Amino acid sequence: MYQIDFQKPVAVHFIGIGGISMSGLAEVLLTKGFKISGSDLAESLLTDHLREAGVKFYKGQKASNITDDVDVVVYTAAVHEDNPELAEAVEKRIPILTRAELLGQMMRNYPDAVAIAGTHGKTTTTSMVTEILLAAGEDPTISVGGILHSIGGNIRIGHSGCFVTEACEYTNSYHSFFPTIEVILNIRADHLDFFKDLDDIRDSFHTFAKRLPDTGLLIINADIPNYKELMGDLSCRLVTFALEAQEADYRAENIYYNEEGHGSFDVVYQGETVAHLDLEVPGEHNVANALAAVAAARALGIGKEALERGLDGYRGTERRFEIKGELGGVTVVDDYAHHPDEIRVTLQTARKLHKKKVWCVFQPHTYTRTKKLMGEFAAALSLADEVVLAKIYPARETDTLGISSADLAACLEKLGKKVHYFEAFDEIENFLLQKLVPDELLITMGAGDIVKVGENLLGR
């Protein structure tokens, strides 16, 4: 594998540079003197930012974008072998790295490299760790999978020996990482276009945990079923956290939720109260995320005052139960939830906050996930009073597997739910304008571009 020498900057081209992670990695290299170019199918705020910073950006992907001065090409899992830029790089025998391989090589430059993994909660927990470190006056480098307002985006270039990043399990990409601290938040069935089943996913997380050196630290959720199976042959240090498991090292006690669903609680480590937190994000899942963040921050030497100050002011990232505004007395919220477990937690939170009708406008993400988890999706969405479905967002997929959102609508109807399916966003918006009444809650949900529906409504 090609090894980048971070002391000798070269010209790097990113295929898919507009992605939340790829754009961050490109910016890190740019600040270290590398010449950066990249392409994506569409322009965005992220690509605009990169262009302003000095990146050569190409809209669209074609072989001519791989110019003769390119020294190495970086690509994501969404890029296939027939991609014209990737094919051109192969033809020219230019060294090629995956996004994960580049990120892993970066991590080797930091004595404290924190990788936060799990089926859900990675972005939130990474953001929480970031807020704690900043409250402590630290200067970390951060790569987060969302827009965090306190760092002005999805990347922060620090000058210390601390690097914090999300670690995604899809395509086993995190097996290319070299962390010194790992956090495993949860392990659920997802990305079933790549993994065979839940056992395959558990094996993947076990392999990830074995990436830690003997001196490393694994922080794992003791509420994961049979979590000890994942730890049996590890030689690193181990710390656990949990909401339910009594034997966990870190626990939340004296939990109280205010009328907005924000949790207040004591963080207890092995029987000793080490902090009291008053969160400004709703839901029990965020209490668990905060426990994991505290465990990671304390492993980095952060004390009580910074723990409390950092999380007391944490208001979340974009697209994580983000209140977008009000439309004629209707509260409009947006959330990235695209897995049944995430949908269930988000809608449970919404129901606690709003006693009147909860509308969910859901855009399924990928045909594979929708087909394999159809029943689970229907059960989770049934927590809403009424459901509006958009077309499936294909993301990296081209094969429809013979399904559409109409199939999900049929499952919901069998559960006795009111469900409506529209092909176009403007149809959804016009329908909602006719149906919504004051004091209701509208939540747009999904990992695609469904956020536009709420934003368009608020802009009318």
Residues forming the active site? 122-123, 166
The token pair at 42 is 């569409």
| Pairing assessment for the beta strands 262-269 and 272-282 based on DSSP bridges | antiparallel
Residue 370 phi, psi (nearest 5): -65, -45
Looking at residue 95, its amino acid is P
Distance CA 168, CA 309 (A): 28
Distance CA 305, CA 45 (A): 35
**DSSP designation for 229:** G
How many residues are listed for the chain in this entry? 460
58 forms beta bridges with 39
DSSP per-residue string spanning 402-438: T--HHHHHHHHHHTT-EEEE-SSHHHHHHHHHHH--T
429 to 178, 214, 365, 446, 457: CA distances (angstroms) = 46, 55, 20, 16, 6
Q: Are 354 and 441 in contact (CB under 8 A)?
A: yes
The token pair at 103 is 């990120």
The token pair at 46 is 């992220």
DSSP, collapsed to helix, strand or coil, labels residue 206 as helix
DSSP per-residue string spanning 95-159: -EEEHHHHHHHHHTT-SEEEEEE-SS-HHHHHHHHHHHHHHTT---EEEEEEEEGGGTEEEE--S
